[in-house]
Amino acid sequence: MQSGPITASVHKPQATSSRRSCPLAMREDLDQEVVIPHLFRCPISLDVFTDPVTLCTGQTYDRPNIERWLQLGNLTCPVTMQRLQDPSVVPNHTLRHLIEQWTLLGRQPVDPGRPLIALKHDLESHENTLTEKLHALQEVRLLSDESKSRCSYLIRMGFLSLLLELVFGQAQSLKSSQSQVFVEEALACVISLLEAADEPESSWSINMFKEESKLASFHELFRGGSSITKTSLCRLIEAICSSPQTQEISTLLVENGTNFSNELMVPLYQNDEVLLEAGLRAIRSLCSVQANRDALVQGGLLDGLVAHIQDVTVGSTHLMAMATLEQILGLEKAREALLDNPNGIKSLVKMVFRVSDLEGSESAVSCLTIVCENSLRAREAAIGFGVLTQLLLLLQSQCSGRTKTRARVLLKLLRSKEG
């Protein structure tokens, strides 16, 4: 659903000949002019974004401007001049949110050139108001989005540890709506820094979650945070699981959170596509650590994945759910849960062959092979739901050679043990 334009009234001085001849008048205009961060300007119009969207090249433009550019028959990105393989645009929610906060805070000037030590002091100071800290955080956010080298410097200055401490060290006090905005902005900075950090730099900061109070804060934010906060927390989980040095933290998150498995399922039932994808990535990352799988299955993960596979049209999240299901079916508990779920085998059989999409076929065949190999009940259920016909159709399709090989293995397994 397309959001409405951002409403931001920004004073722009008129470039008249009379003004050019009057330096004092120019100075008065400049004094009154709002300083617009360069990241907030559309590169086509040089005005503040009203509806920022991103092309496949990674460049962001205001929707009306880029749509007009494309309607004129241009097939290149205006900034990079790269040919567009895909002319579709994706809303830039992160930039939009940042501009909205800048607008709500009175369009205060953001000065990325301010010394980092001063920014850090503003964030650490107990005397500063939350509004003042938000201003400092905006500047850090701009800096962290600029370049990887800038992020590395921010990490060396201790900003990653500081931001994690500000969010998870005082979650109890971050209840107001303004505090929620602070948490959202701080977590967005954390994710930017983690994406640019080396493992030793990030693992030292993430080890703070070995403290019970920090784990409790994480779970509290995951339960009660906004969609933006939950999306960032999911991405934080993904970062934690990606490094061998911090994978044990992921196990602490799973084991120490009451009903954490159920909380992880919540994004699967949301209409927010960004949160949905982040949630599935987090679940898949947690399942990549073998020590987490048993607790997640016991908490109802399999039923959540089956519900998602059954109800959602084929897409990237659907395929992620299939791959995660394949990951956990090595556990006997997971195979039992699949058989006990009335839609378990049925959903997989439906995924074996779909005319509109063959990408999920390989995972579906692999999952069925795992569960049918040593279970007569599973084989009977699969045959009852029409898997033999589905496999024969798949073998006649344009699917990959590897998928056909796996389909033949499953077909042979079912026929050899049929009856």
User: Which domain CATH number covers 349?
Assistant: 1.25.10.10
Does the pLDDT value for residue 83 go beyond 90?
Answer: no
Does the pLDDT value for residue 245 go beyond 80?
Answer: yes
Considering the domain architecture, whether residues 314 and 360 belong to the same structural domain is answered as yes
Taking a C-beta distance cutoff of 8 angstroms, is the pair 352, 394 a contact?
A: yes
Which tens digit of pLDDT belongs to each residue from 373-389? 989 999 999 999 999 99
- Domain boundary (240, 269, 296) is at 296
Mean pLDDT, residues 234-254: 91
Does the pLDDT value for residue 174 go beyond 70?
Answer: no
Is 316 a domain residue? yes
Considering the domain architecture, whether residues 129 and 275 belong to the same structural domain is answered as yes
Is 11 a domain residue? no
Is 342 a domain residue? yes
Q: What is the pLDDT of residue 8?
A: 45
Considering the domain architecture, whether residues 160 and 187 belong to the same structural domain is answered as yes
Considering the domain architecture, whether residues 169 and 276 belong to the same structural domain is answered as yes
Considering the domain architecture, whether residues 87 and 224 belong to the same structural domain is answered as no
Q: What CATH number does residue 41 fall under?
A: 3.30.40.10
Name residues whose C-beta falls within 8 Å of residue 411's C-beta, 6 or more positions apart in sequence: 388, 391, 392, 395
Considering the domain architecture, whether residues 306 and 406 belong to the same structural domain is answered as yes
**What are the helix (H) ranges across 257-300?**
260-265, 273-287, 290-298
Considering the domain architecture, whether residues 290 and 355 belong to the same structural domain is answered as no
DSSP 354: B
Instruction: Give CA–CA dist 67/70, Å, rounded.
Output: 5
Other C-beta atoms closer than 10 Å to the C-beta of 29 total 16
Is 135 a domain residue? yes
53: left (phi over 0), alpha (psi -120 to 50) or beta: beta
> What domain range includes position 120?
110-296
Ramachandran angles phi, psi of 52, nearest 5°: -70, 130
Is 1 a domain residue? no
Q: What is the pLDDT of residue 387?
A: 95
Instruction: Give CA–CA dist 130/132, Å, rounded.
Output: 5
Considering the domain architecture, whether residues 286 and 305 belong to the same structural domain is answered as no
Is 10 a domain residue? no
Instruction: Give CA–CA dist 112/187, Å, rounded.
Output: 19
Question: The tokens of 162 are what?
Answer: 């500081």
Considering the domain architecture, whether residues 339 and 206 belong to the same structural domain is answered as no
Q: What H or E segment, with its residue span, contains residue 62? A: strand 60-62
- Domain boundary (42, 65, 93) is at 93
Q: What is the pLDDT of residue 171?
A: 58
Considering the domain architecture, whether residues 225 and 289 belong to the same structural domain is answered as yes
- Domain boundary (276, 296, 316) is at 296
Considering the domain architecture, whether residues 207 and 288 belong to the same structural domain is answered as yes
Does the pLDDT value for residue 107 go beyond 70?
Answer: no
Is 75 a domain residue? yes
Task: Work out how many domains the chain is built from and give that number.
Answer: 3
Which tens digit of pLDDT belongs to each residue from 182-217? 899 899 999 989 887 776 667 888 989 999 999 999
Is 417 a domain residue? yes
Considering the domain architecture, whether residues 286 and 142 belong to the same structural domain is answered as yes
